[in-house]
Amino acid sequence: MFGKGLVKGLNVTWKEFWSKKFTVQYPDEQHTKPPRFHGKFQLNSDACIACGLCANACPNGVIKIESEKVNKKKYLTKYVMNIQYCLFCGMCVEACNKGALRFTQEHDMSQYFYKDIPLVFVDREAPKPDPETENKEKDDDKSKKAGKAPEKEGQ
């Protein structure tokens, strides 16, 4: 009989009309994101040993690392991620065996200006290789970084 399918379809519509709503009013409400979510990156610059494994693992050359030798140890002076080229594949996070680089749940990374896109995690001078002043310099660095952090994140 012609029209049987249409009636069946309307029946579905009628049932769905009374079912639970599942849309989320986005900016006000948000879905919770799973722990593995590939969001914005976070670098623990104290744990990072500037080994460059993450930069080598990246297929798109997103990560730029600079380091200097201080007291026979590598000192990270620059860590920049040009995330406009990032595929969010997670190869870098997987490659880091110090657990220094990780994903966060944050997902809104869009910016108004192109220059604000790169994530500048570390941009600092290497301390003088004098053992006495080294500790003091490090503390200075830390406080400097703490003050600057919000501005650099570009929020």
Partner 1 sequence: MLRTETYTVNFGPQHPATHGVFRVMLNLDGERIVKAEPVCGYLHRGVEKLAENRTYQQVIPYTDRLDYLAAGLQNQGYVETIEKLMEIEVPDRAEYLRIITAELSRIASHVLFVGVYALDIGAFTGFLLCFRERERILDLMEELTGSRMTYSYARIGGVAADAPEGWLDRVEKVVNDLPYYFDIYDDLISGNEIFQARTKYVGYLSAESAVDYSLSGPTLRGSGIDYDLRKAKPYSIYDRFNFEVPLGENGDCFDRYFCRILEMRQSVYILQQAIEQIRETDGPIMAKVPKVLKPPKGEAYHEIESSKGILGYYVVSDGSNKPYRVHVRRPSFVNLGFLDEMCRGGLVADLVAILGSIDIVLGEVDC
User: Under the rule (CB under 6 A), what is the footprint of ligand SF4?
Assistant: 48-54, 57-60, 62-63, 65, 81, 86-92, 95-96, 98, 100-101
CA 78, 81, 36, 92 dihedral sign is negative
Residues 56-95 that bind partner 1 (CB under 8 A): 57-59, 87-91, 94
Asked whether the beta carbons of 82 and 64 are under 8 A apart, the reply is: yes
Partner whose binding site includes residue 92, from partner 1, ligand SF4, none (CB under 5 to 8 Å by kind): ligand SF4
Distance between the two ends of the chain, CA-based, in angstroms? 62
Helix H or strand E segment including 80 = strand 73-81
Instruction: Give yes or no for residue 9 binding partner 1 (CB under 8 A).
Output: yes
Residue 34's binding partner out of ligand SF4, partner 1, none, with CB under 5 to 8 Å set by partner kind: partner 1
What does each C-alpha distance from 6 to 11, 12, 36 come to in angstroms? 9, 10, 44
Site string for partner 1, 11-50 (x = CB under 8 A): xxx--x-----x----------xxxxxx------------
